[in-house]
Amino acid sequence: MLVFSFATAEKPELVQVGGKAMSLILMTQQGFPVPPGFVLSVTFFQPWLEHVQNTPEWIQVLNSSSKDLKQNCDTVKSLCMGLELDDVRREALEKTLASLKTDATSFFAVRSSSPEEDLEGASFAGGYETVLGVKKEDIEDAVRRAFVSSLDERVFVYKKEHGFAVDEPRIAVIVQEQIASETSGVAFSLNPINNCYDEAVINANFGLGESVVAGMVSPDSFTVNKVSRAILERKTGKKETSVWLELDSDGGTYEEPSPSRSKACLSDEQVLALTDMLVKVEGYYKKPIDIEWAFANGKLYLLQARPITAYFPLPDRMLTAPGEPKRLYGDLTLVKWGMQEPLSVMGTDYLAIVNSQTLKATMGDIGPDVVSEVRPTLEGRTYVNVSFTLKLRGKKGLMDFWRPMDALGAETIANVDESEYTMKKLPPALKGMVFKMIRQNLGLIWGVLQALRNPIDFKGRYFEEEERLRKHLKAAETEQELSLAEFATRTMRKMVAYATVFGAGMAAAELARSRIKKLFKDEKPEIGDQVVYLGRALPNNITIEMGLAMYRLAGFKEIAECASGGSTLRRGSGQAGLTTGEEFASKLKDRSFSPEFLSAWDAFMEEYGFRGPMEMDVAAPRFYEQPALFFEQLRTMAESTGAANNPQAIFDEARAQREKVYKDLLQVAQKKGKRKAKQFEKQYNTLVELGGFRERPKYFVSLLTDMFRRRVLAAAQPLLDAGRLDSPEKVFDLHMDDFERGLADPSIDLRALAEKNTRFLKKLRQVRELPRIIDSRGKILRPPKKEAGEGELVGEPISPGLVRGKIRVLHEPDEKPVLPGEILVARATDPGWTPLFLNAAGIVLEVGGMLQHGALVAREYGKPCVAGIESATLILNDGQMVEMDGANGIIRFI
């Protein structure tokens, strides 16, 4: 069909009318006050598109570089301005226009409605042209302009960035009666600032909505509680100008200063009427939406409705109903494990088992209802129920728990209204939990006492238990008859069986650290600052040991030879060349390196090869699976072999600094008396002997995750051979039970299941910044802004030191190299980032506290580190020169 009226009783296909027109048709069918209009379908423009695609200018566009894309697009657009409608299409257009029963004084708005536009995953905001105030006789020209905008450079760039095909443009065009509005604007069914689902936000200005939509003015803003219908906030904007329909000429619009800058352009009654309509539209879509609206002659019109693309979706199981008591959640995946990306579907299943078994180790034999209440793991993340912890420990106890993981999270909690978020009473599943936890942890408490009494003996016991665990896990690999869930549960139970000795050693070290800090709390600030150095270069940190082992590998001549051997290695005549990483991987596969290097390589992979970025997700590839990429990390190290970048030398220097600080502080303690000095010696020895063990449990969780990954990939091979999956990594888009059923039943469509399973994760991956703290109505809680001096950023001091260097911002560990002397800036880090710390002069983290991974590694290497700088990856830019003061948590711009 060529044309669809908004008043049609049909539901056209989205691919024919596009998201914008589909919305107007649906809203008209639902009885909303939509100005009449119609849409010229994709089929309507097929002759024009075919003509464009058959021109040499179009071929030039498809082959354009980023440099000449705009010029080539403009050439094609110029060609299209001469296109004419054929008789059939002109007749269809004129016939539909006549059916609107408008007169000579009527005006129209003409705008695009691409099938790819205004969808949940893409808005194309500002990409296509809108023509306002169009007279009937000028509609064909306005339609042509809207069509031509689909060939604009901005649209091509947006499509490439969002994964849309660029070689087959599609466009539909809306023609709608123009409302000569007195006030208009946009409205959001959730608060775009804090993500709260219960708050609507309205932006408004005098005249047409173009001034608000195009960002021409600072509009009036109203925030409304949709549940109570209370106006929470009114902000009168400057409303610098307003756009009006030109009623006494040939059409179009004109601008003039707004009628009033000091007076709001909407009354409270209009704000609430608009909110009511917004709630009804959201109720129809059953998802957050934004609308364009207008008031004309006292009547409210709905001009557009579309899904909101940029918001954080909370899983349904974590939502509470509007008006019910709310719960507060913290993202443990981010603040504790440093994972910024959502886990895979099967990775989430696996992490749920890890969390379940871990909680049982500390809370006793609890059921799945308790696990899902206390630590829900779903849709790619693990959350902790902050409201539950508030009930048990109060705000101070919760802050003490949170601060070592994430300083800004703790500051956020400090400003939480306890009456709003503390559970009024514990759910039945959680009653009596405190006593169960005390009983369950008696062994842990006894272990802490033993560790404090004799840390050297305890360390020996620790290593004995660790060796037993390795043997048990090796034996578990042969248990082939188990289902995936059974295998994951059984291997995790084997690790949890050693949780008492693991946890006791870590707890004793942290208790010792706390006691040392308390011992010197009354001293001068410069003495108290020295205490931080006691946590540097502690032995037995397995992540640091991995970094040192990588550096030793990087020192082999094989790395340097591949790195400098030219950009390609020819496999044979006429075949494409290999990158240096691929060359290295090819030689490694052929075992053509020296026996010494191969022996060192094999030893590294045996001990650390199962690690890598996002290593707690079973879908994440490991070092041993991607030798070409791992080589690139080694090459960066090999190119930075100077003494200043030698991690062993850095580590040794940090250890010497720690020992010197210890001697200096011991003299201070001796002045307090022999008893104090003896206490200090004892606590310091405990910290040194056991403080480095904190990273080891995560090492073993990563080992278990890789065991599970290898098991899944081996079991998935028949599905790949049968063509039921497109690639090995697609198996991780399945739940464990999907996978088991798929193996047993060949009729199950695994591709369809994978597509369904990943819908939510695809939404989550569009979110730029996953929140630390969020409530059960979607509201993201943030810390109060810190006061900073001019030219400064202030965060949490994590590791002391004063350095100057250029900024290097990374969002992924393999995004680009960090050169010697640069200051690494990241949102959060996991062990896959460790190699980057070697070159970095300092580390800046948006998320983190004293015990977050990045903080631990920075201290071990003796690198200055500052955490808790909100939006650091946006504020700071590559190449900026800054001075970093790790002791005071300050970044100064130079």
Q: Which of 427, 425, 400 is nearest to 413 (CA)?
A: 400
- Mean pLDDT of all residues in 386-403: 88
On whether the CB atoms of residues 376 and 318 are closer than 8 A, the answer is yes
Question: Whose CA is closest to 229, among 99, 323, 121?
Answer: 323
Closest C-alpha among 55, 61, 59 to residue 73? 61
List C-alpha distances in Å: 296 to 27, 33, 35, 178: 19, 12, 11, 11
Q: How many CB atoms lie within 10 A of CB 502?
A: 23
Residue with the bigger pLDDT between 397 and 276: it is 276
Identify the CA nearest to 114 among candidates 101, 123, 102.
Answer: 123
Tell the burial category of 3 from Cβ atoms under 10 Å away from its Cβ (0-12, 13-18, 19+). buried
If you average pLDDT over residues 600-609, what whole number do you get? 96
Number of H helices, E strands in the chain: 35, 26
Give burial (CB, 10 Å; 0-12/13-18/19+) of 786. middle
Which stretch of DSSP H or E encloses residue 883? strand 881-885
Q: Taking residues 231-258, what's their average pLDDT? A: 89
- Contacts for 834 with CB less than 8 Å, ≥ 6 apart: 543, 544, 546, 547, 550, 857
Query: Residue 232: is its pLDDT beyond 90?
Result: yes
Judge contact between 406 and 772, C-beta under 8 A.
yes
Q: Which residue has the tokens 């709001």?
A: 264
What integer pLDDT is reported at residue 125 of this predicted model?
46
Residue among 894, 871, 891 at smallest CA distance from 793? 891
243, two tokens = 């756009």
Residue 853 is predicted with a pLDDT of 66
- Distance from C-alpha of 514 to C-alpha of 494, rounded to nearest angstrom: 31
What percentage of the chain reaches a pLDDT higher than 90? 53
Q: How far apart are CA 107 and CA 615, in angstroms?
A: 59
Distance between CA atoms of residues 772 and 369, nearest Å: 24
* Helix extents (H) in 403-454: 407-414, 418-421, 433-440, 442-453
Give which of 538, 516, 514 is closest to 527, Cα–Cα: 516
Q: What is the rounded CA–CA span in Å between residue 186 and residue 229?
A: 18
Regarding predicted confidence, which is higher, 686 or 389? 686
State the average pLDDT over residues 854-872: 81
The pair of structure tokens assigned to 3 is: 């044309």
Q: For residue range 776-795, list pLDDT tens digits in order.
A: 999 999 888 777 788 899 98
Query: Which tokens hold the place of 597?
Result: 């290097």
Closest CA to 52 of 75, 86, 71: 75
Contact (CB, 8 A) for 490 and 476? yes
pLDDT above 60 (res 292)? yes
Element (H, E) at 718: helix 696-721
Q: What is d(CA 412, CA 772) in angstroms, rounded to the nearest whole number? A: 9
Q: What percent of the chain has pLDDT over 70?
A: 95
SS3 889: coil
Q: What share of the chain is helix, strand, coil (3-state, %, to 5)?
A: 50, 15, 35
pLDDT value at position 566?
Answer: 41
CA distance 682 to 51: 84
pTM of the model: 0.83
Q: Report d(CA 654, CA 534) in Å as an integer.
A: 10
* Structural domains of the chain in order of their starting residue, each with its CATH number: 3-177 (3.30.1490.20), 183-307 (3.30.470.20), 319-440 (no CATH), 556-640 (no CATH), 785-893 (3.50.30.10)
Q: How confident is the model at residue 774 (pLDDT cuts 50, 70, 90)?
A: very high
What stretches of 454-556 show up as alpha helix (H) in DSSP?
Answer: 455-476, 484-496, 499-519, 525-530, 542-554
- Residue given tokens 């995953």 in the structure block: 121
Q: Are 796 and 866 in contact (CB under 8 A)?
A: yes
pLDDT band per the 50, 70, 90 thresholds, residue 850? low
Question: Which 3-state string (H, E, C) describes 669-712?
Answer: HHHCCHHHHHHHHHHHHHHHHHHHHHHHHHHHHHHHHHHHHHHH
Asked if the model's pLDDT at residue 455 lies above 70, the reply is yes
Q: Give me the sheet containing 377-378, strands edge to edge.
A: 377-378, 381-385, 328-331, 773-775, 780-781
Q: Is the pLDDT of residue 439 over 90?
A: no
Measure Cα distances from 161 to 156, 166, 180, 479 in Å. 9, 11, 37, 45
Lowest mean pLDDT among 244-258, 641-655, 712-726: 641-655
Q: How far apart are CA 530 and CA 551, in angstroms?
A: 29
Beta strands at 802-809 and 881-885: parallel, antiparallel or unpaired: antiparallel
Q: Got the DSSP string for 745-798? A: -TTS-HHHHHHHHTHHHHHHHT-SS--SEEETTSPEE-PPPPP--TTEEE-EEE
Cβ contacts of residue 775 below 8 Å, gap of 6+? Answer: 326, 327, 328, 329, 421, 781
> 196: left (phi > 0), else alpha (psi -120 to 50), else beta?
beta
Tell me what the mean pLDDT of segment 361-386 comes to: 88
Q: Which of 602-616, 839-853, 869-883 has the lowest mean pLDDT?
A: 839-853
User: Taking the chain, what is the end-to-end CA distance rounded to the nearest angstrom?
Assistant: 63
Of 121, 369, 102, residue with least CA distance to 251: 102
Q: Could you tell me how many residues make up the chain?
A: 894
In angstroms, the CA 879 to CA 877 distance is 6
- What pLDDT is attached to residue 564? 66
pLDDT, tens digit (0-9, with 9 covering 90-100), for 59-113:
998 888 878 888 998 999 999 899 999 999 999 999 999 998 888 788 999 998 8
Quote the mean pLDDT of the chain: 88
Do the strands 230-235 and 220-225 form a parallel or antiparallel pair, or are they unpaired?
antiparallel
Is residue 398 pLDDT above 60, yes or no? yes
Burial class for 440, CB neighbours closer than 10 Å (0-12, 13-18, 19+): middle
Cα 116 to Cα 150: distance, rounded to the nearest angstrom: 11
Per-residue CA distances from 203 to 119, 187, 214, 265, 297 (Å): 22, 6, 12, 10, 19
Q: Is the dihedral of CA 264, 270, 274, 276 positive or negative?
A: positive
Rounded Cα gap, residues 491 and 486, in angstroms:
9
Helix segments in 54-187, DSSP class H = 56-62, 69-80, 87-99, 139-148, 153-161
The pLDDT, as a whole number, for residue 156 is 80
Between CA 852 and CA 695 the distance in angstroms is: 10
Q: Which residue has the tokens 């064909």?
A: 140
The strand pairing partners of 826, in sequence order, are 845
Residue 368 and residue 356 in contact, taking contact as beta carbons nearer than 8 Å: yes
pLDDT of residue 118: 45
* Residues 765, 377 contacting (CB under 8 angstroms): no
Return d(Cα 286, Cα 556) in angstroms, integer: 60
